[in-house]
Amino acid sequence: MPITDFLKRNAELYGDEVALVEIAPQMLEKAKVTWKEYALIEPNAEESGRQEMTWKEFDKAANRFANLLLSRGIKKGDKVAILLMNSLEWLPIYFGALKAGALAVPLNYRYTADEIKYCVGLAEADVLIFGPEFIGRVEEICDRLPKVSQIFYAGKNCPTFAESYDKLVTYCSTKDPEIEITDEDDGAIYFSSGTTGFPKAILHKHKSLVHSAIVEQKHHGQTREDTFLLIPPLYHTGAKMHWFGSLVAGSKAVLLKGIKPEWIIKTASEEKCTIVWLLVPWAQDILDAIDRGEIELDKYELSQWRLMHIGAQPVPPSLIKRWKEKFPNHEYDTNYGLSESIGPGCVHLGVENIHKVGAIGKAGYGWEVKICTPDGVLVEKGDVGELAVKGDGVMTCYYNDEKATNEVLKDGWLFTGDMAMEDEDGFIYLVDRKKDVIISGGENLYPVQIEDFIRKHQAVKDVAVIGLPDARLGEIAAAIIEIKDGFECTEEEIDDFCKEMPKYKRPRKIIFAEVPRNPTGKIEKPKLREIYCGESLVAAQIKG
């Protein structure tokens, strides 16, 4: 069963019900009435800041794009690269590519022109569709994409080097092209986040896409009465695969184009959202805004909000404790996953296990997990090993990269590169990325453990711990600390605070600076190492 069958079913059963809502808060802030009332001035006009799409309209839009692709000679197995910001058009374009039998290839909106060229080339894309935010970047490389035969532009004022998607699809049939697709057919290529180097192309079958949808709905129990607030970028597996739970349930989702705390709370209130997936920094920002009095919760209707869940990075227990103090009626869940395992859910805490916050959980629905040595031998409970997962959501391969594939896929198991340990109750805790482990004077230091401790300091907004070269110890732990607005802190204060940790774990260097995170919330440690390690290496060589 391909993932497109869910869309077709929803259009048949719930055709006139709203599937997607797009909220552009920058446009709506000037409104003196509610956002819905303001939108009624010009319903579904782009200028209104709020647009809707029913399941029937969603399905028809996907069919139009599929038929456009087929009319241009795109065939089963060809690849369609998608470079768009979150919008109502994003998901219909994605599903249109799938309905044509093509592979969808979502691209990170932060890619430079050269990175776009690299990823489009690596995936061997035949088509590129892009939005207005990317005109300059695409124009720079449009004549250097050897396999791309067609470039479509989704938006107003189409540039001369592309064809207008908006105009072309109006002449295409809204009927389903009925291309035969099986579970074993290739469905999508995603790209790794690049936290350990340049992105790799991750190939998934339709079986993986369907598996992720079923897992999400099983974990969070979406029904047709739910409304999911979707904030992260759709190019990433996390946002889309959490939305897949809404697809399975036939329930509404709201695409919010902005991450300001007041926008999130206001949208949850006015759109009657019941499920919100956040990244750690966004949850922190919301709590800080409440503490500063910028958000007064009693002014919003939030009684329907039943679940807040977080994924994409380790979650500090102190954050969830603060969250439950402000939102005592919320269920909470942690989701662990990676693009190679088709996004979230291969390890899952479960709302019934909030007493285990800090753990990422146990094997998710339809998944197996183990913690082992590099050659696959299980380690004892309480010992650190590499987390490996197995299930229908595991990638087929790194596309066109047999060497990298063989390094992580072994006998059906995906070795994640994350170091973890299992407690006596069978709950798994992330310790750190294998490549992020710091070896200082022969001791293994796990940055996540140090970061979790430092985050408990009341002045700390975010923290990242990396290894810096040291002539005597090999490496030392350095803590890059971002301070909350309105707070002050000194190195001495952090040093004193860290004295509760074993001496060998304490950071030897404190740096007050912004902690960079990618769009999926992961700390960009390669960027930090590039900034700080070069300087430290020179210093170490001078000392030597």
- CA–CA dist 140, 383 (Å, integer): 51
Q: What is the pLDDT of residues 348-390, one digit of tens each?
A: 999 999 999 889 999 999 999 999 998 889 999 999 899 999 9
Question: What's the mean pLDDT in 414-443?
Answer: 83
So what's the pLDDT on residue 197? 52
Q: Find the DSSP H helices in 435-524.
A: 447-454, 491-497
Q: With the CA atoms of 111, 116, 118 and 121 taken in that order, what torsion angle do they form, in degrees rounded to the nearest 10?
A: 150
Q: In this predicted model, which residue has the larger pLDDT, 451 or 473?
A: 451
So what's the pLDDT on residue 317? 83
The tokens describing 1, both together, are 């069963």
H or E element, residue 258: none
Under 8 Å between Cβ of 410 and 403: no
So what's the pLDDT on residue 64? 98
Question: What's the mean pLDDT in 515-525?
Answer: 78
So what's the pLDDT on residue 158? 97
Question: What's the mean pLDDT in 286-303?
Answer: 94
Q: How far is CA 40 from the centre of its chain?
A: 32
Statement: residue 122 has pLDDT above 70: yes
Q: With the CA atoms of 381, 387, 390 and 393 taken in that order, what torsion angle do they form, in degrees rounded to the nearest 10?
A: 140
Q: How far is CA 74 from the centre of its chain?
A: 29
So what's the pLDDT on residue 542? 25
Q: In the chain, what percentage of residues exceed pLDDT 70?
A: 90
- Tell me the β-bridge partners of 410: 413
pLDDT band at 535 (very low <50, low <70, confident <90, very high): very low
Q: At what angle do helices 317-326 and 280-291 cross, to 10 degrees?
A: 50
- CA–CA dist 100, 94 (Å, integer): 10
So what's the pLDDT on residue 217? 96
So what's the pLDDT on residue 537? 34
- CA–CA dist 170, 64 (Å, integer): 8
Q: In the chain, what percentage of residues exceed pLDDT 90?
A: 69
Across 17-31, 33-47, 157-171, 514-528, least confident range:
33-47
- CA–CA dist 370, 350 (Å, integer): 18
- Percent helix, strand, coil in the chain, to 5, is 35, 25, 35
User: Who contacts 275 (Cβ-Cβ below 8 Å, separation ≥6)?
Assistant: 220, 222, 226, 227, 228, 229, 305, 306, 307, 308, 309
Q: What is the pLDDT of residues 295-313, one digit of tens each?
A: 999 999 999 999 999 876 6
Q: In this predicted model, which residue has the larger pLDDT, 280 or 471?
A: 280
Amino acid code (one letter) for 114: D
The CA-CA-CA angle for residues 363, 365, 368, to 5°, reads 40
So what's the pLDDT on residue 34? 64
Q: What is the pLDDT of residues 247-272, one digit of tens each?
A: 999 999 999 999 999 999 999 999 99
What sign for the dihedral angle of Cα 539, 540, 541, 544?
positive
Statement: residue 42 has pLDDT above 70: no
Q: Which of 85, 341, 62 is nearest to 234 (CA)?
A: 85
Question: What's the mean pLDDT in 156-166?
Answer: 97
Statement: residue 89 has pLDDT above 80: yes
Under 8 Å between Cβ of 23 and 267: yes
- CA–CA dist 411, 19 (Å, integer): 40
Across 138-152, 194-208, 280-294, 491-505, least confident range:
194-208
Beta strand segments in 194-348, E = 201-205, 227-230, 252-256, 275-278, 307-311, 331-338, 343-348
Per-residue HEC secondary structure of 185-220 comes to CEEEEEECCCCCCCCCEEEEEHHHHHHHHHHHHHHH
Q: In this predicted model, which residue has the larger pLDDT, 532 or 79?
A: 79
The tokens describing 202, both together, are 């991750």
Under 8 Å between Cβ of 479 and 497: no
Question: What's the mean pLDDT in 435-453?
Answer: 78
Q: In this predicted model, which residue has the larger pLDDT, 518 or 87?
A: 87
Question: What's the mean pLDDT in 92-120?
Answer: 94
- Per the prediction, the chain carries an average pLDDT of 89
- CA–CA dist 537, 544 (Å, integer): 10
Under 8 Å between Cβ of 475 and 436: no
So what's the pLDDT on residue 441? 63
Q: How many other CB atoms are there within 10 angstroms of residue 381's CB atom? A: 12
Within 13 Å and on the Cβ side, how many CA atoms surround 122?
23
Statement: residue 235 has pLDDT above 50: yes
- CA–CA dist 259, 392 (Å, integer): 33
Statement: residue 38 has pLDDT above 70: no
Question: What's the mean pLDDT in 53-57?
Answer: 98
Question: What's the mean pLDDT in 504-521?
Answer: 85
- CA–CA dist 478, 505 (Å, integer): 10
pLDDT band at 195 (very low <50, low <70, confident <90, very high): very low
Under 8 Å between Cβ of 461 and 484: yes
So what's the pLDDT on residue 105? 98
So what's the pLDDT on residue 412? 93
Statement: residue 49 has pLDDT above 90: no
Q: Which of 109, 515, 87, 85 is nearest to 313 (CA)?
A: 515
pLDDT band at 184 (very low <50, low <70, confident <90, very high): very high
So what's the pLDDT on residue 536? 39
Q: Find the DSSP H helices in 398-463.
A: 402-408, 447-454
What sign for the dihedral angle of Cα 439, 442, 443, 444?
positive
Question: What's the mean pLDDT in 491-520?
Answer: 88
Across 27-36, 93-102, 197-206, 239-248, least confident range:
27-36
- CA–CA dist 188, 57 (Å, integer): 23
Domains annotated on the chain, with CATH: 437-543 (3.30.300.30)
So what's the pLDDT on residue 518? 73
So what's the pLDDT on residue 104? 98
- CA–CA dist 513, 531 (Å, integer): 11
Q: In this predicted model, which residue has the larger pLDDT, 405 or 474?
A: 405
| R_g of the chain computed on alpha carbons | 24
- What are the angstrom distances between the C-alpha of 28 and each of 23, 50, 263, 300? 8, 8, 10, 17
Across 83-92, 303-312, 444-453, least confident range:
444-453
- CA–CA dist 293, 266 (Å, integer): 15
Statement: residue 63 has pLDDT above 80: yes
Statement: residue 541 has pLDDT above 50: no
Q: Which of 163, 147, 24, 145 is nearest to 85 (CA)?
A: 24
- CA–CA dist 409, 397 (Å, integer): 8
